A and B are shown apart, each in its own frame.
Chain A
Amino acid sequence: DTEVTQTPKHLVMGMTNKKSLKCEQHMGHRAMYWYKQKAKKPPELMFVYSYEKLSINESVPSRFSPECPNSSLLNLHLHALQPEDSALYLCASSPFRGTDTQYFGPGTRLTVL
């Protein structure tokens, strides 16, 4: 089973709201990722967690706060977002090494009003 699940599928929030995106995998993968994808663009890497520790932060604004409570779960906490943060947020996981295949979830479509 190569499934990564993400909830919610869609999220609409105001600029003063606090919300969270959730990602889960049960493949025993030890690396998990958050990507942001704008329309007609490739995914842009935001964060990488390896063995539940943050290993890469691609200079993402602090209004995005990742969390990895355990090896199966990855959250992205959102606060005080801007309309330009509206995008498809993709989660992915991989066994661990840089050569390993990343498996993507279906994404959360976020709209910031």
Chain B
Amino acid sequence: AQSVTQPDIHITVSEGASLELRCNYSYGATPYLFWYVQSPGQGLQLLLKYFSGDTLVQGIKGFEAEFKRSQSSFNLRKPSVHWSDAAEYFCAVGAGLDTNKLIFGTGTLLAVQP
């Protein structure tokens, strides 16, 4: 069965520092992968997605993610974090071509220190 693991429940970084949020997935075929961000009490905003092609994907707000099939990973990165990036980040995998289901990871809560 498909699954998504986000090993880090909570991460704190200093403003201006680089960021990497980890995501590992379990899926039998080519995965469709997403990163969403959620500010407190808000809906989810799509940061970026990977369907096929270039394994380095650029997203909004200066985020990027790299798909590594050999490691079953889709880690999210940002070179310089801003205080406004503090939020919950969810990695998700599409459950298949014949279904509209998304499988979410448990999320990583990012705190940014001044």
In the complex, which range does the number of interface residues on chain A fall in?
A: 20 to 34
Nearest residue (CB) in A for B104 is A42
Nearest residue (CB) in A for B36 is A104
Interface string of B18-38 (1 = CB under 8 A from A): 000000000000001010100
Q: Which of A8-65 contact B (CB under 8 A)?
A: 31, 33, 40-43, 45, 48, 50, 55-56
Count contacts on B: residues with CB < 8 A to the other chain: 26
Q: Please state if B43 and A104 are interface contacts (CB–CB under 8 Å).
A: yes
Nearest residue (CB) in B for A48 is B100
Q: Please state if A45 and B51 are interface contacts (CB–CB under 8 Å).
A: no
Determine if B67 is an interface residue (Cβ-Cβ < 8 Å). Answer: no
Q: A56-B100, A98-B96 are in contact. Are A42 and B43 (CB under 8 A)?
A: no
Q: Which of B37-59 contact A (CB under 8 A)?
A: 41-46, 49, 51
Q: Please state if B43 and A56 are interface contacts (CB–CB under 8 Å).
A: no
Give Cα distance in the complex from A40 to B88, angstroms.
9
Interface residues of B (CB under 8 A from A): 32, 34, 36, 41-46, 49, 51, 90, 94-102, 104-107, 109
